[in-house]
Structure 1
């Protein structure tokens, strides 16, 4: 016969309820971030910064279950280029900046740490051609992706490197044309793909280099939204 599990204490019950509520909020926020503009996301999180905490707590819990986190790969890469100036777009809890000795500009919708700048990442407070390495780790969200890529092009030095990690299933949008379609679109926007790694079941990692070509006009870049299952 099954042994009955010990009833939860009131404190444990409360913690469990809180987890469920936060899990629901995380999914709702996630959906919102994938379907709004950078401006809209920025004003939402600025008006209620606690939402940022809920979102990133949910994200951290999820990331803890992954066999590998693409951010670790990018941290290793940056460590091999200690003199490089880095920009981390959609930095979350700014783990990249805290893991390396480089000069890192960290940007996200809310600043919870003194070295993070709160802004819409389509419009960051950096002058043109100032950055050696730009990082977009699972941060190409919402309907302003084209504008985010343009902003990266603006702040990167000629020959600068753009590192992108994205969830594999998001490339399945018809208008994007899969992984190859994404590479071709970025090529038109002035980036050459030097390396792409599709070995991971969940993520694709890219290394682009800013070329000297003049960027062409492109339509909006539409990824598939990423739906996280109920926890």
Structure 2
């Protein structure tokens, strides 16, 4: 992905398995957000292709990609603060379901995300972590088979991080999850596989244990310089 003379993503060959929590990490400016936008159709790759479920989706518009089964939760929750939790989820569910089917989907999401005790609470009065969980519910209301989460643990307390990790463990039973995150404790809790981006390229990938114990990955976050192929 090029922006004029700036190369934001270069020579990335990325593959993700079904039913997996795959974490994408790297320092600020590594190209993670640009990569997400390429997957969801917000950006069209300058070169190369994006495929999903054996179908090339490069050039598809965001709503077309969403209909194919890719849902994304961005860093900033996009919720209706003046409505309660159930109403927010119902509005999201109405994109795919009608009438009683939408209500059944909302009830299912409230149970899956353990939000039933908050169902009648105004979203604008919820804690930060609770708002994040409601937005995850809104994404799941689209019934995606691949869920993209952009820094879901950012700004959360330790207890909220633990709860979010549990929720992601529940989500992956029926879906694949791709997570951009900086919280290493959180990553260790949820990741089946980790890919590290550095300077717009794939630096390394593997199991969470192998990648997070790699001293080169630590050096990237500390800003130490070295050759990419070292």
**TM-score, reference length from structure 1:** 0.33
> Over alpha carbons, which structure has the higher Rg?
1
**TM-score, reference length from structure 2:** 0.33
Q: Which has the higher contact order (CA 8 A, sep 6+)?
A: 2
